[in-house]
């Protein structure tokens, strides 16, 4: 099924409050870490070809997921959004300006979803004339969906970026991080 596109090494990254929460009491998750920790996060991002968040986190924060605040001359990591319930496409129908947030920055955004049309599994299409790539992968079990979908993203990434997706950083939200841990995808040997 995959001509190339091996499963990337996965790094899970999160910030938490002193009481172990991923958001403060007002449910804000941005800026709960200090400036030194944020610079360290940007340093970590610089070692990865892709940064992944869940759809809910992207819709709430419209996160850039770029390397900033440090000296960096490499290629920006791709932004990858997992969206098993197709929330992004639904949000685009309600707010077409969201495409600007998806297009922001110097690199492509990859959406991993399985609720597109009933075409062949593991196909991808471009949204409009943007830098947003839908990667569709269909499977019943979430771990298999996530594993297969990430392999397919790695394959599509190689085709479009002309480089391999060796290292993937998962930055949130809480449900996405939990799913990666439950599926055991935070390990290098998948």
Q: Model confidence over 138-161: pLDDT tens digits?
A: 777 888 888 888 888 898 889 888
**pLDDT over threshold 70, residue 2:** no
**pLDDT of residue 120 exceeding 50:** no
Cα distance between residue 190 and residue 81, in whole Å? 20
User: Among the ranges 36-40, 51-55, 120-124, which has the highest mean pLDDT value?
Assistant: 51-55
Enter the tokens of residue 85.
């319930």
pLDDT averaged over every residue in the chain: 79
- Per-residue confidence (pLDDT) for residue 59, from 0 to 100: 92
Q: Answer whether 154's CB lies under 8 Å from 146's CB.
A: no
**What's this model's pTM, rounded to 2 decimal places?**
0.82
> Alpha helix locations (H) across the chain?
35-45, 55-61, 87-94, 98-103, 142-161, 174-183
């Amino acid at each position: 099924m995959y001509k190339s596109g091996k499963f990337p090494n996965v790094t899970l990254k999160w910030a938490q409050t002193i009481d172990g929460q991923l958001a403060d009491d007002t449910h804000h998750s941005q800026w709960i870490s200090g400036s030194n920790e944020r610079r360290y996060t940007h340093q970590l991002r610089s070692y990865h070809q892709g940064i992944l968040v869940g759809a809910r986190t992207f819709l709430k924060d419209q996160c850039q997921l770029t390397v900033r605040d440090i000296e960096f001359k490499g290629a920006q990591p791709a932004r990858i959004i997992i969206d098993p319930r197709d929330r992004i496409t639904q949000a685009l129908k309600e707010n077409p300006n969201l495409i600007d947030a998806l297009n922001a920055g110097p690199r492509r955004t990859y959406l991993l979803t399985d609720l597109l049309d009933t075409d062949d599994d593991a196909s991808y299409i471009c949204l409009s004339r943007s830098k947003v790539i839908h990667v569709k992968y269909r499977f019943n079990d979430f771990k298999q969906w996530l594993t297969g979908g990430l392999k397919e993203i790695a394959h599509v990434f190689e085709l479009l970026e002309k480089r391999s997706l060796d290292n993937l950083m998962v930055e949130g939200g809480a449900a996405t991080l939990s799913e990666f841990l439950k599926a055991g995808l935070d390990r290098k040997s998948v």
